[in-house]
Amino acid sequence: MAVDPEDLAEQWVARHTEWRRITALMGDQGWPVTPRSGTSRGSTWARERDAQREGALARRAAWQMERQDARDELKAQLWLSADVSRRLRAIATRTGLEPEQVLAQLADRVRMNDNGTLTVDTFTPR
């Protein structure tokens, strides 16, 4: 089960708040308290923890973006007539592309006219 980094961050904020409350209580009781600046090792750990948290949040955001992109992608299996298939393969061979890449470039350039017809301006696959 994956831990949500944002939930983990909220837990750490709550813990930090509680630690600060306990520190204040200890100060009120006259018990020895580490200064707010902390020790160098504690400060190093805090910086490392913050860096890990930021890294985890960045990885989570990137992962979510990849998932969204994957949902937006369209994968299709296409059956072409022999004549169209030969022409597509010839175009792909001349351009050094795979037939799927030629079709993807063609799809990128298609536009729909007001009357519902599809149009592709002349272009050279690259």
Q: What's residue 18's pLDDT?
A: 93
The C-alpha atoms of residue 85 and residue 99 are separated, in whole angstroms, by 9
The answer on 91 and 50 residing in a single domain is no
Token readout for 110 is: 């298609």
The answer on 49 and 20 residing in a single domain is yes
The answer on 108 and 55 residing in a single domain is no
Token readout for 117 is: 């017809």
Going by pLDDT thresholds of 50, 70 and 90, the confidence category of residue 97 is very high
CA 88-92-95 angle, to 5 degrees, is 140
* Total-model pTM: 0.44
Q: What's residue 37's pLDDT?
A: 59
Summarize the confidence of residues 82-100 as an average pLDDT: 94
Residue-wise pLDDT for 62-75, tens only, equals 988 888 887 877 77
Summarize the confidence of residues 4-25 as an average pLDDT: 87
Range of the domain at 55: 5-26+36-72
Q: Is the pLDDT of residue 82 over 90?
A: yes
| DSSP 8-state class, residue 55 | H
Going by pLDDT thresholds of 50, 70 and 90, the confidence category of residue 44 is confident
Q: What's residue 83's pLDDT?
A: 95
Residue with tokens 């630690």: 19
The answer on 60 and 21 residing in a single domain is yes
Residue with tokens 């990137």: 62
Q: Is residue 46 part of a domain?
A: yes
What's the number of domains the chain is made of? 2
Q: Is residue 88 part of a domain?
A: yes
| Beta carbons within 10 angstroms of residue 99's beta carbon | 16
